[in-house]
Amino acid sequence: MKKYRRIEKLTKEFLEGKLEKLSISYGENHTVEVIVGYEDPYNYRFDYDILYNLDNHDVKFLSHQGKADYFTSIPLERIKKFEHSVCSALFTSL
């Protein structure tokens, strides 16, 4: 649970939001997709999606977006320091 509390702190620090969801999906070629879902102070929800390679520790940005409505996504900026901090917190001991 300490790792998840750390993600909660990183979400607040970098994204100024409250962690709502943390999804980790293992893929092919030793990759892991991590989706951090969060809510901002105005009650809007966003997803930050990254792909992490367990072999070479490469972090690939997939998306950072919110939903305006059911059909429209709002793209947001990439925050590399957040991505690396999340992957470090989750996968350092591997």
What is the rounded CA–CA span in Å between residue 77 and residue 52? Answer: 18
The CATH number of the domain covering residues in 2-91: 3.10.450
Task: Kindly report the pTM of this predicted structure.
Answer: 0.90
Please state the φ and ψ torsions of residue 90, each to the nearest 5 degrees: -85, -35
End-to-end Cα spacing for the chain: 16
Q: Do the Cβ atoms of 17 and 40 come closer than 8 Å?
A: yes
> What are the pLDDT digits (tens) for 33-59?
999 999 999 888 999 999 999 999 999
2 vs 64 pLDDT, higher one = 64
| Strands 45-53 vs 59-67: parallel, antiparallel or unpaired | antiparallel
